[in-house]
Structure 1
Amino acid sequence: MKIPTPSLGLKTVFKGFFWLGSIVLMLTIAAGIAYLVSAQTNPSGKRIIKTLGDAVTISFDESDIPHIQAKNSTDALFALGYLHASERSWQMEINRRLSSGRLSEILGKETLAIDRFIRTLGIKHAAEKQFDRYPIATKRLLQSYADGVNAGNAHLGWALPVEYFLSGSKPGHWSPTDSVAWMLMMALDLGGNWHKELQRLELSQFLTTKQVWEVMPAYTPGEPVSHLDFAKIYQDINVFNPNPLARDQKSKNLPATELAINEVPGGKDGVGSNNWALNGKLTVSGKPLLANDPHLGLSAPAIWYVAHLEAPGLNVIGATLPGIPAVVLGRTDKFAWSFTNTGPDVQDLYIEQLDPKNPGVYRGPDGPLPFKVRQEIIDIKGEAPLRFLVKETRHGPVISESYARARRAIDTDRFVLALRWTALDTENQSVAGLLDMNHAKDLEAFKRALRKNYAPMQNVVMADTDGNISLQTAGVAPKRTLHQGLYGVAPALGWERQYDWAGYVPFDQLPNSNNPDAHWIATANQKMVSSNDPNPLTGDWDLPTRYDRIVELIKSKPEHDLNSMKTMQADTLSLGATPLLELFKSAQSKHPLAQQANELSRNFDGDMKIDSTGALIFNAWADQLSRQLFSRLGYLFTENYGTRNFRHPLILQIQNPNSPWCNDPQTEQIENCTDAANVALDKALEQLSTQFGNNPKNWLWGNAHIAVSEHRPLSKIPLLGSLFNLAQPFPGDSFSINVGRLELLRAKNPFETKQAASLRTLYDLSDLEQSLFIYQAGQSGWVQNKLYRNMSALWARNEYLPLQMKPQKISRQLELNIKEK
């Protein structure tokens, strides 16, 4: 059959479409080239800024660290703000919107839940009240930084980071209170005790208090900080939702206007850090060594930006947080400091009872009290605004009306849950404390500045060139008395005065140490108790696996140098795995690949090396064993497994071979822990063969344990996610010094990690110019810049870059002037 030839008219139309398409393509290519040429991804040259006080010179070294030289601190912080905006504009815009509950204005209803929760907490309101009480000199520094941010954004011109074009937005105005609000968000991310309180409340629907302690054990098993039967307290007042989900039901889909599970910042196990200091008695040089690696969520761009600030009375280099005008972790030319999260219990949930005749009041110790109420309006891209009321009790904001999980647990016709949190106090001046720390002339002045730190509470380990090493826990935590009341382990009755806070722990009663006889100091989120106050700061410390391993390695050599410090930071032996190895190696499986898997993992000793097959088989087995024991909790397991790892209760239960948790309630026979281990191995081998193929020799830990640095908010979008996210095979696990927390049920690949060492620093106090650093991304926030990802592979291999105040080479220079020269 002959195909008819198109008419002349159709040919003309096709030709027109062809030329039109070609023109559109050419214009697109031209626009792309113009954008890449115009985008100021490597700021250099001269800029005129009339709002600047005096000229500032910024030199970038080979590690792309900017060295800011100014004639006063005000201009130095202006320049830092300018650089933060120039290099990390989109990151700062997301941070600003997140902390003020305004993401939905540009991202739509998908972020409405988090906006509503942040508005309910009142993060920006609290920041404004706190800023009002800051000293005038500090306000000026914060204002100068904000002016620098706004100038930096303005100088980007039309060629903004591509995220702005994708979201149809532009950089917003940065104010001094945005910096204070971002500090509060850091405190929220590093807090989270209230999550554990809520979990214990939820579990009390189905378990006795004794059983709850088995699932969420005390730091010292059998010795909880509270002996109250909280499950009975809740049952006696009938606090629970009369229509709860059954234990074997899946969580219902939650409305977009309510915060779904795992969307609240904070509350994750393993959010912490490592730091340690050795004095000259234990070092080759005879001077101290100091190490630090904070464990935070991995993001792209990274949470940190390294910079050097120099002005009269100011000479400091280290890691800054875009949005905050200070070096948070770093050194001067005389001393260095490091942080780990103390993890104190600074958040308490209160069950507040409603008046059945008047929902506008709640029960107080001496009678009814009115709620404080304010209206919030959230603008939503493509939708009508959301208007809602935020209620506050005498303890704090009511969160059960904005967090679906809290709302689901209780009878909302009769009760609400309110949050008491130190960070929201108007007295909080943590940013002022950071600025004072940066200006400290010596270690003693630095310690005095720590008294201003309010939240988050940190274990600060320090060392100086005179040979001193010190520890000071800094921050605010409520006074508690061991074994009295609930001690913050579970929600308290709001109308009982006995559960109210009775002031804060005095600074001088917080844990501290100066030049100890052991010649070393180490913290890794383990239990910290002051010598003059026997009451611990929380009942929910992390397992001491990293701390114990650090101490073991410190004691393994008579003398240390920078190389041995690197080795320690790279260590991947998991003391969270070793207690399970005997049961793991005795487990029997009927799977066809069992014999081969057993041979490959026979010599596994708990070291989570990247090329280890045993590490992957063990972790798959431990994952399945945890599910075997605790999945009977239904949604209360599946919703928490990942934010909590359940390793501590697992270790405790397998110590009793006949633990009732090892029995499978769905079978007629009674199983023991050996039976559970066998079933877990069957499931693990099936999972690994499905995920990685039928050749166990290919089951390497690095093939599964991938460190993923996610971009906000493009990480989940196909193609874009792969462009903006960073991924590297990574060693370690949730319990090794070189930590890499497993995502477990929170990801399709349960073995990937999104939380690890967000930064590593090493300081040699015999020559501070030998200091080193690395983090998992790069200095730039521009995805098209090679400096967006240049540190990624180095970080994964535990390699470092120099952290020098006087670099030998300068790659480019930027001058900020107030007028043409």
Structure 2
Amino acid sequence: MKMPTPSSGLKSAIKGIFWLGSAALVLIIAVGIIYLISAQTSPSGKRIIKSLGDSVSITFDESDIPHIQAKSSTDALFALGYLHASERSWQMEINRRLASGRLSEILGKETFEIDRFIRTLGIKRAAEKQFDRYPIATKRLLQSYADGVNAGNAHLGWALPVEYFLTGSKPGNWSPTDSVAWMLMMALDLGGNWQKELQRLELSQFLSTKQVWEVIPAYTPGEPVSNTDFAKMYRDINVFNPNPLARDQKSKKLPATELTINEVPGGKDGIGSNNWALSGKLTASGKPLLANDPHLGLSAPAIWYMAHLEAPGLNVIGATLPGIPAVVLGRTDKFAWSFTNTGPDVQDLYIEQLDPKNPGVYRGLDGPLSFKVRQEIIDIKGEPSVRFLVKETRHGPVISESYASAKRVIDTDRFVLSLRWTALDIENQSVAGLLDMNHAKDLDTFKHALRKNYAPMQNVVMADVDGNIAYQAAGVAPKRTLHQGLYGVAPALGWEKKDDWTGYVPFEQLPNSNNPSTSWIATANQKILANNDPNPLTGDWDLPTRYDRIVELINGRSTHDLASMKAMQADTLSLGATPLLGLFKSVQSTHPLAQQAMELSKNFDGDMKIDSTGALIFNAWADQLTRKLFSRLGYLFTENYGSRNFRSPLILQLENPNSPWCNDPQTERIESCAETSNAAFDKALEQLSAQFGSNPKNWVWGNAHIAVSEHRPLSKVPFLGSLFNVAQPFPGDSFSVNVGRLELLRTDNPFETKQAPSLRTLYDLSDLEQSLFIYQSGQSGWVQSKFYRNMSALWARNEYLPLRMKPQKVGRQLDLAIKEK
């Protein structure tokens, strides 16, 4: 027998490996094809549902908006839950786990710190207690929605969204309290005052109170709502951590995660929105026009899902939040409504003093008090479970043991920080308020339903077909008195009565307006005062740049129509840039590219157009100038620059040409603001050359200002991130009506934006069927669906899709049927 030669044996082995590899590749391709065929990315046909009261018909229009026709509200909400699960199953699973502090069960130790913080706040526990007090009729609606979610997930079968396979997980059970918990998470995302309080506390280690106000200024500079010298107060009681090394070691952002579930929600500048209503006196049709664009974090899939619900006593279309059984922003056939964040101060931090002999006791108003203590257990994928204790004071949960920035700043042997927050109140029934709003017959009953909105407080601007426009701030906020105590601007001493809450502002005293003489209403997170209450709802309003520009645009025309409303939503003139243009254009530089850059910027007027070179050069200069003035704050600047934009303190300091903040403390000579501006310009040119090449003609705003909708949690995973994320060049900046807040130090590209109009809607009350909408991704949460990102380019170009109750074209149809007896 002839023995095989080594070379022939090697060839056989290679051939075998080749065929084995080919077979594996064929198998993978076959499984992929079977998966793509089996995945129910666009369900249609008939589904038999056991727990349904009666059959429901769902038709999908050309934009893939479902039109749900049901014979009862419970069945309509069941169908909405079914669709949310069918289209956004993974998004809902992540949201459910985030609100319950259970991300680490499927994502591992990277998300432990987020889970611990959410468990410390007790979001799910609060939701359960609140749900117990909901009216029985509302509980039934929430339960029906939850049943729909679970039925929708069950009908997905084995071919789940690919994220489940990548994380080795499956959809969990959705309960009514998960919906209540997600509403609390929205309130947390739209809050964040406590983080600003914490930053003022941290700055007080190194700065005087006057200097702290220069870094995080009052809304009206020089007129803070509190006159307390809090920096001295903190030093007098020795509140600060005596060990600087410990502070430096814990100065990283919390949490650090490669999987990007983001940081603790809330605490970012610019989370807000625009809305405005014009009465018929200002419109071509003689009927009102209404506009809304909420500014939330961009995500893929989007935070919103459009839907139309129709049943006896219910006919509403608009934006829903997967996880919540209601149209949050939208219209009926009689009226339309819109939200912006009022931004009241509903979160206060308290410094609680520990008993040195008994760490289980803290100092109360009249003597020692015992902490309420509970144990939490977090299961972590691939790691042992972690048990920890959560303490509560009379004000609320102790956060300084679960939030690194809070823990590092104080002497933890003597103090803790607790949080009081309205949203955790057992009386909170905001989801019930949304359901009542959806069932309102007219504007009057809608306004009555707003009384149930608890948190987050919203500026609700409304209009109806009868020609009325109205405004109401809806939610709860603590009563405060100007210049009494700290007014919530910085952590208060928990054992002193003067900063305790004494009640909430009555609904009747909240700001409101009906058919004002101006014939228009607008809100953009600017300062709002009630006529009968001179005490502002917070001391930390946003800069009024968007509001001021909206007012300019409203007054700039005698007559408006849908076209002018579109132009207003697309407006990119930045009133946060215009105060700096004089200094910018007076720059003197010897940089080789300076002359060309200045020539390209000479006509720049603050309009952040997508094709503007001046916009990019200006923003790079403003970024570097901000760093030069405030980077001396060390980690307290680097950690917060991005979530805080620092534009307000920059503008204020540059009003003084010799501001001490312009001087570089590391040089012997004293620099003026003009000299620091010149140095910032040189640095900006170096940065732009490195990032975009040495030809300034290529320095176009749209090349740098990219709107990124991040997927949770795969956005930072190589290859998968580019597959799941949605990105578009985008105009605007942090202060324009068409907002695109810069990330600054938070990303490698400081000009990137992850917070922009998450939705745009326009309503013409002369014909509500002409209503329009757009958002930045698509209806589907399935990455392989054509509806995953189909709206992205339209959104970036400020184009719209119809929002009709009676669509001109109908695509697929899905029927949910009861089992025949």
Q: TM-score range by the shorter chain?
A: over 0.9
Q: Which residue does 1:564 correspond to in 2? A: 564
**1:240 matched residue in structure 2:** 240
Distance 1:224 1:784 in 2: 52
Structure 1 CA distance for aligned equivalents of residues 93 and 276 of structure 2: 35
User: Can you list the C-alpha shifts for 1:627-649, whole angstroms capped at 9, x where unaligned?
Assistant: 01000101110001000000000
Change in 2 beyond 3 A, CA 1:247/1:402: closer
Report 1:37-56 matches (<5 A). 37-56=37-56
Aligned residue runs from structure 1 range 559-708, under 5 A = 559-708=559-708
- CA, structure 1 residues 723+252, in 2 after alignment: closer, same or farther (shift >3 Å)? closer
Query: What is the match of residue 501 of structure 2?
Result: 501
The equivalences for 1:288-303 within 5 A come to 288-303=288-303
The residue number in structure 1 matching 2:387 is 387
Could you list the per-position Cα deviations for residues 497-539 of structure 1 after superposition, in whole angstroms to 9, with x for gaps in the alignment? Answer: 1111000000000000000000000000000100011100000
After TM superposition, the structure 1 = structure 2 runs for residues 750-761 of structure 1, keeping only pairs within 5 Å, are: 750-761=750-761
> Which amino acid counterpart does residue 136 of structure 1 have in structure 2?
I
Mapped partners of 1:220, 1:252: distance in 2? 32
Counterparts of residues 315-464 of structure 1 (less than 5 Å): 315-464=315-464
Task: Give the aligned partner of residue 223 of structure 1.
Answer: 223
Partner of 1:796: 796
CA 1:201 to 1:261, structure 2 compared with 1: closer, same or farther past 3 Å?
A: farther
Deviations 1:248-298 (A, max 9, x none): 9993587979x9998211000000000000000000000000000000000
Once the 2 structures are TM-superposed, how far is the Cα of residue 247 of structure 1 from its aligned partner? 10
Residue identity matched to 2:774? I
Q: Distance in 2 between the 1:255 and 1:530 partners?
A: 39
Aligned to 1:466: 466
Q: Give the 3 Å change call, closer, same or farther, for CA 646–52 of structure 1 in structure 2.
A: same
1:509-520 alignment, distance < 5 Å = 509-520=509-520
Contact 2:218 2:539 survives alignment (8 Å) = yes
Q: Which residue of 1 aligns with 2:786?
A: 786
Letter in 1 for 2:265: P
CA contact (8 A) 1:250 1:634 kept: no
Residue 694 of structure 2 aligns to which amino acid in structure 1?
Answer: N
Q: Report deviation, 1:10.
A: 3.9
**Cα distance in 1, alignment partners of residues 540 and 193 from structure 2:** 8
Answer yes or no: is the 8 Å Cα contact 1:779–1:787 preserved in 2: yes
> Given the superposition, is the C-alpha separation of residues 294 and 256 from structure 1 closer, same or farther in structure 2, using an over 3 Å criterion?
closer
TM-score (norm 2): 0.98
2 CA distance for matches of 1:244 and 1:215? 22
Q: CA deviation at 1:25?
A: 1.3
Contact 1:262 1:643 in 2 (8 A): no
Q: Is the 8 A contact 2:261 2:712 kept in 1?
A: no
Contact 1:250 1:635 in 2 (8 A): no
Task: Kindly indicate whether the alpha-carbon contact (under 8 Å) linking 2:111 and 2:261 is maintained by their aligned counterparts in 1.
Answer: no
Note if contact 1:113-1:260 (Cα within 8 Å) is conserved in structure 2.
no
Cα 1:412/1:589, change in 2 over 3 Å: same
Q: Distance in 2 between matches of 1:246 and 1:415?
A: 16
1:578–1:605 contact (8 Å) kept in structure 2? yes
Q: Are the aligned partners of 1:473 and 1:510 in contact in 2 as well (CA < 8 Å)? A: yes
8 Å Cα contact 2:254/2:263 also seen in 1? no
Distance in 2, matches of 1:613 and 1:435, equals 48
Q: Secondary structure at the match of 1:788?
A: coil
Give unmatched runs, 5+ long, in structure 2: none
Q: CA RMSD in A?
A: 1.6
1: CA distance, partners of 2:428 / 2:758: 26
The amino acid that maps onto 1:349 is L
Identity %, equivalent residues: 87
Letter in 2 for 1:632: R
Q: 1:261 to 1:165 in 2, by over 3 A?
A: closer
The 1:292–1:252 alpha-carbon spacing in structure 2 relative to 1, beyond 3 Å, is closer
1:490 aligns with 2:490: yes
* 2:343/2:525 contact within 8 Å kept: yes
Show the counterpart of 1:88.
88
Distance 1:680 1:256 in 2: 30
Amino acid corresponding to residue 78 of structure 2 in structure 1: F
What secondary structure does 2:715 align onto? helix
Q: Deviation per CA, 1:719-741, whole angstroms, max 9, x where unpaired?
A: 00000000000000000000000
Work out the CA distance in 2 between the residues paired with 1:11 and 1:650: 71
Deviation at residue 12 of structure 1 after TM alignment: 3.6
Would the alpha carbon gap of residues 687 and 245 (structure 1) be closer, same or farther in structure 2, given more than 3 Å must change? farther
Query: Cα gap change, 1:591/1:248 in structure 2, threshold over 3 Å: closer, same or farther?
Result: farther
Q: How many residues are paired up? A: 817
Whether 1:777 and 2:786 are equivalent positions in the alignment is no
What is the Cα deviation at residue 13 of structure 1? 3.3
Note closer, same or farther for the CA distance 1:273–1:367 as it changes in structure 2 (3 Å cut).
same
The aligned counterpart of 1:817 is 817
CA 1:298/1:353 → structure 2, altered by over 3 Å: closer, same or farther? same
CA distance in 1, matches of 2:261, 2:73: 44
Residue 25 of structure 1 aligns to a residue whose secondary structure is helix
Does the aligned pair in 1 maintain the 2:252–2:639 contact within 8 Å?
no
Contact 1:48-1:820 within 8 A present in 2 as well? no
1:642 is paired with a residue whose SS is coil
Unaligned 5+ runs, structure 1: none
Q: Name the SS of the counterpart of 1:674 in structure 2.
A: helix
Aligned to 2:735: 735
Cα displacement (A) at 1:14: 3.1
SS in 2 for 1:683: helix
> Partner of 1:536 in structure 2?
536
Provide the rounded CA distance (Å) in 1 between the counterparts of 2:648 and 2:11. Answer: 74
Tell me the secondary structure at the aligned position of residue 211 of structure 2.
helix
Q: Distance in 2 between matches of 1:748 and 1:204?
A: 30
**Which residue identity does 1:251 align to in structure 2?**
S
1:521 corresponds to:
521
CA distance in 2, matches of 1:727, 1:626: 27
Aligned-pair CA distance for 1:20: 2.0
Q: CA deviation at 1:100?
A: 0.1
Partner of 2:111, secondary structure, is helix
Are the counterparts in 2 of residues 101 and 118 from structure 1 also a CA contact under 8 Å?
Answer: yes
Report the equivalent of 1:550: 550
Paired residue type of 2:345 = D
- Would you say the 8 A contact 1:707–1:752 is kept in 2? yes
**Alpha-carbon distance change, 92 to 253 in structure 1, aligned in 2, over 3 angstroms:** closer
CA offsets per residue over residues 741-766 of structure 1, 9 Å max, x none? 00000000000000000000000000
Q: Residues 180, 245 of structure 1: CA spacing in aligned structure 2 closer, same or farther, 3 A cutoff?
A: same
Deviations 1:408-467 (A, max 9, x none): 000000000000000000000000000000000000000000000000000000000000
- Write the distance in 2 (CA, Å) between the matches of 1:623 and 1:478: 36
Q: Does the 8 A contact of 2:255 with 2:263 survive in 1?
A: no
* CA deviation profile, 1:696-736 (whole Å, cap 9, x unmatched): 00000000000000000000001000000000000000000
